[in-house]
Amino acid sequence: MTSKILHLPKNVRGRDFVVGDLHFKIQDLQRGLQALGFDQAIDRLIAVGDVIDRGPGVREVLQLLDEPWFYSVQGNHEQMLINAYHADPDVRYAAHAMVWWPMIPYESKSVVIEKLRSLPIAIEIESAQGIVGVVHADVPAGVCWQTFVAELENPAIEETALWGRDRIMKHQRDGVPGAWRVCTGHSWIPRPLRLGNVLALDITGGCDGSLAIYCVQDDTIYIDGIPASLDQAERLSDLLAALSEKSQLLKDSLNSNKLIEAQIFAAEVDTIVKLVSTMWMDAKEGLVEQQQFINALHGVSLSKGSRRGAKLDALCSQHTGSQTEGLLRRLINAT
């Protein structure tokens, strides 16, 4: 690895997209990018690591590593393969869904390893709003972004960057100081999640399902080109707080007869009101769907015997083949 941190300057021509764990899911990636009108000439795609293993698109995803518009941090799956190869280049390593590795020609393996080894542990993207950090797993709690990237040589810091799950498991909402947004993967969740300024994007874990793709320029997480409903709800809360603040400033400036300031605040309030209206219409349908899911899950939990099994089967059939189905069955069976 030449450097553990990669700095990307502001994209003044196009857009920047950050995608959750790829795991060779090339068709899902292509579908998501096409829905967003991704333009290879001016747009950039940044992955949160774990681009390898599990999925079918081995050759296509490995080729992405050579594209000038594609960037990725190193994930724990890349690290595991690198370590196994360095321990024994001849080993037919197939653990952790690396069944593709023995099929790579021997003479090509060192090239693949070098590409993966050259990936940084963290990427920071300049944006109009500030730094957008990208790391596979997590940033240690209470550590600001600048300290984090400065101490990536520290094994404990790197361990958290590649393997940490505390923020997701404990639902910590403190965020990461010193960055506008921090994009992560590694820990599977059913839907994209915002924890403070941290965006959790791994919604498939390499299994069936569409990928979450975050657009830096419009601060929105998309699934197949559609804004994620729960993410929209989080943003809506932030906008309502901003609307309250700007409205108070407008009121204060009017009371103080500061007409020029009042005009500025009035324009800002108008802009926020329009955004709130648009986002509410986008989020409403998805929120209704989520409430229906919660109601159905509640119905399963209250049932017993064969009736519970029938309700669970009906609910799981709506999520066949996804990790949501497996999660549902594990949760119910554990009770």
DSSP track, 293-321: HHHHHHHHHH--HHHHHHHHHHHHHTTTT
181-184 and 131-135: which strand pairing?
Answer: parallel
Domains of the chain with bracketed CATH:
5-227 (3.60.21.10), 233-333 (no CATH)
Q: Is residue 136 within 8 Å of 186, Cβ to Cβ? A: yes
Q: Please identify every stretch of the chain with a pLDDT value under 70, giving residue numbers as ranges.
A: 1-2, 91-97, 229-237, 277-291, 294, 298, 321-335
Amino acid symbol at 118: S
pLDDT at residue number 233? 56
CA dist., res. 255 & res. 252, Å (int): 5
pTM score of the predicted model: 0.74
pLDDT at residue number 269? 81
> 65 burial class (0-12, 13-18, 19+ CB within 10 angstroms)?
middle
Q: How far apart are the first and last CA of the chain?
A: 46
- Within the chain, residue ranges assigned H as helices are 26-35, 58-64, 76-87, 106-117, 145-150, 155-163, 166-169, 229-255, 259-302, 305-317, 323-333
CA dist., res. 18 & res. 286, Å (int): 22
pLDDT at residue number 234? 63
pLDDT at residue number 242? 78
pLDDT at residue number 73? 98
